Structure 1
């Protein structure tokens, strides 16, 4: 079809190539009563061609399509493109001048949608994936089964349509110190469908770096009417499949601001004596969900790729799996540290692989933050080296003889949670089938300062059963020797929250400035990183709204 014309309502978008091998992209907004087929034509003398129609639903009607093309680049490579919105459908097109039957395979994390060939003249393949980030997704490479005479790569980014705004949270509330207004909104995990609000008691929820946070609460059932309301979210019978533990989340609002979203995974309904029934809920932060989706096909190899790009590839691949898309908005940027990784199809989960990738020398920290977007709550995957704001310390708390926000504090020192010599164990390696295989083990990384100060040798070996590269194992050993040498010291403080606290559940990694002056501590300031935050709202059992801050320290495996 001539780019200057519009046939059947299709309008020309772009083309790549010259002479006998040209690939063109056309676009049409579909309407009711679409025809069964569309008429097109090729220039006189054309030897053959392919046509693939990609039908896209839920596209934005006004924002522009974003695209990029390459001509005779590295075979199989499609170019990077920066989406115009934080949510888009990415379409990757592979087109080759061929010398025989050609079969395409999608880039990692993409779904192959169609492929077509015209004899031994030209072959085209199309793959897609949903992208929830405004960062460039980088170049992606198709696989193919024979050499190509020429190559075109095209990447298209179709912005997603706006979604309806959610039900507005209650207006801001101005409580005094130690009290706050909380709202608990229940929705479905995968599509965000609103199910209802519930009044909860005995609520506690927390969040930690590189560990799933937890949620617990009690739902009192004082009457049949309340029971009917709760049954819309926690069904009474097992035949209702579209709600209940495993399907739902609880979104926590404090004074109208989102403070977290928790995947509800368990509910215990019970009655004690002549009391009215109640339901005990248990849940976890959304990063726990990634620990329950297995990587069941090979991903990679990634060679000399930035570790954050590898992390994003893991997340893209996870969200490209059927029934596993959390709609994560992925933070852009790179760390400057490159890795080599190949992930095999085994029983490991995406969350496990992400944590292993992060916990290596020169690694990073990551979390899933819940933020208010223009069209509802957004789930943002964020990373840092390390996470949080370190200086100046944005959160100030004091403990004095007569007053202060610090209600209680504790310091734990445990020499057996750390070590002074660390090794990492990998996969079993054997080149001779007649002999028993032995696991690959790194050399020992030592906590030299501790040993020089008189510490004894205390050995620990961490296991990464699928790693086959010695350099990767050495990196794990070095990471733990630097992160958990000697005795691990974990400080914790419980503080009262005021009307507008500086701290939120998205403050993980921030620095806290603490002033101590009591019978044990001489008056001094200390600065500690916040690696965990636990909240207990005001309730009948707890007269104050408090936050427990876990400071510094490191959980060693």
Structure 2
């Protein structure tokens, strides 16, 4: 189970000693007590009842007209026992304004509590390293206003749940917020702002590990055995933003795909054979619109194959239905997280001059995730491509982050990117990865598939050759502008970039002008035209093969961009090997309708925008 808050209780003691109460708790829960006071000295504060001392932060200088030294904070922990008392004796200064906050955490490892103290005068809770990849983080802030008497309130950033925002007699102010821990990577420091701002303030971070890891051990299957049955797949539902675990789903008719620089799709059916199952599903897909914290738009489905993460899909549609025969079912549809990037507009002006194109991409993603309601926790790959760009993105253009990221990549000397759902050092992470000029391993090709006269693992193949998808002369059209309102605006347009080899070989002139209505730089338009003249010249070929997977396939959705060696020897193909990059993959797990797990591989071609 995942560690979570069972209860929170705040006791205000006005002067001297008193009784500090706890909320509901069960044996085995971890209790965390924060004790803060405005005066009386840090040494005077203590808590009775066999608590384990976890750390002390003397308050330091209390500035202002009534300056002095505030007592600061002490922190204690203990494990709730059978017969645990409901209150504890709290000791403080004779005239101190003392606040005692006790948090009860369920499903927690009692010996894996990490406490990190911050710094006086700093309005942030410090970063810390989790003991496990799953758990709960508590962020505690305390301070006093200067001069005393001001009413203090706190604001909590996106991704955190506010548990406490209280103040005793307009002196000591405390705040507690919680969020899940979903990775063994360090949690960062987090700034919590108060109104008014406090000069006498400090923060503490507490990390509490869950009792069980988030992913079970995979089932044991013999190496290279063909996929059979559906037990090798697990479908986990989480909250998109907080990544909080919400439950597992038993799905049928599952299919999912992923592509470079495009959003992949997901579809599945949830059977509802009984009211009991329906009640369970309603905790994830609500029956009516009164439940705003679940359902399409809020949840993702994480896909695990043999215990390894193979994808995460943002669920955007659910359709409950029942046919004339049979029981109800719910049709789910969703997309990879790339689709979410294309649903958030850039609503502030952003300017980049001589900036590496990958750094621009990271900056766009960081800007998106800084929004209060758009932080989806992407881990951004570091490094640069060595190619500098000038870019301007304006609020008035109405462009989305996803749209601009794709345009940024699809230029001459551009790069590729995608979002991978991966297990890194025991932690599940959403990795934004990039490659320049391309993603993947090319030499030697790490994947082999065959279609021979005596069979092979290629089940189906197709080759589409379409002259109307490409062109032999390319231009890019940009923004329309005119300094004179009485004169019609003329769009900026690039030079013509030709597919020289095709024209010299006898191809006719085939023109295509692409529209980039927000681009105002001639050089940028030329980069676009040159890119497509190189990548989509003449007739475009789109090759697809459908292969069957064994237990441990070398190719996964996180390996897109890799090269594959394909052997063909059949009635159409003379015996030969060919090498193709895999730029997309569509998976159909084993099911009642299909006894084999199949993967549809999309091999590198190019589809030019209209």
Report how far residue 376 of structure 1 moved: 3.5
- Given that 1:262 and 1:283 are in contact with CA atoms closer than 8 Å, whether structure 2 keeps it comes out as yes
The C-alpha deviation readout for 1:38-57, integer Å capped at 9, x for no partner, is 52689xxxxxxxx9943223
- Shift in alpha-carbon separation, 1:540–1:133, aligned structure 2, 3 A: closer
Report which of the two structures shows the higher radius of gyration computed on alpha carbons.
2
Report how far residue 443 of structure 1 moved: 1.2
Partner SS for 2:557: coil
State the match for 1:16 in structure 2.
Answer: none
The 5 Å alignment of 1:319-334 reads: 319-334=369-384
RMSD: 2.7
Select 1:56's aligned residue among 121, 124, 131. 124
Report how far residue 274 of structure 1 moved: 2.5
Distance 1:334 1:133 in 2: 26
- Aligned residue pairs total 432
Partner SS for 1:60: coil
The 5 Å alignment of 1:386-465 reads: 386-465=438-517
State the match for 1:242 in structure 2.
Answer: 293
Gaps of 5+ in 1: 1-29, 43-50, 64-86, 90-131, 136-157
Partner SS for 2:488: coil
Q: Does 1:212 align with 2:263?
A: yes
Q: Does 1:548 align with 2:600?
A: yes
- Given that 1:388 and 1:507 are in contact with CA atoms closer than 8 Å, whether structure 2 keeps it comes out as yes
Partner SS for 1:480: helix
The structure with the largest strand share of the pair is 2
Select 1:316's aligned residue among 366, 390, 415. 366
Q: Does 1:32 align with 2:54?
A: no
Select 1:305's aligned residue among 345, 348, 355. 355
- Given that 2:238 and 2:245 are in contact with CA atoms closer than 8 Å, whether structure 1 keeps it comes out as yes
Partner SS for 1:33: strand
State the match for 1:376 in structure 2.
Answer: 427
State the match for 2:344 in structure 1.
Answer: 293
Q: Does 1:499 align with 2:551?
A: yes
State the match for 1:75 in structure 2.
Answer: none
State the match for 1:72 in structure 2.
Answer: none
- Given that 1:133 and 1:331 are in contact with CA atoms closer than 8 Å, whether structure 2 keeps it comes out as no
Report how far residue 61 of structure 1 moved: 7.2
State the match for 1:278 in structure 2.
Answer: 329
Partner SS for 1:520: coil
- Given that 2:237 and 2:246 are in contact with CA atoms closer than 8 Å, whether structure 1 keeps it comes out as yes
TM-score (norm: length of structure 1): 0.74
Report how far residue 228 of structure 1 moved: 1.0
- Shift in alpha-carbon separation, 1:462–1:414, aligned structure 2, 3 A: same
Partner SS for 1:514: strand
Distance 1:469 1:436 in 2: 19
Distance 1:198 1:255 in 2: 16
Distance 1:61 1:190 in 2: 21
- Given that 2:544 and 2:603 are in contact with CA atoms closer than 8 Å, whether structure 1 keeps it comes out as yes
State the match for 1:354 in structure 2.
Answer: 405
State the match for 2:390 in structure 1.
Answer: 340
Partner SS for 2:342: helix
- Which runs of 4 or more aligned residues in structure 1 lie more than 4 Å from their structure 2 counterparts after TM superposition? 132-135, 158-166
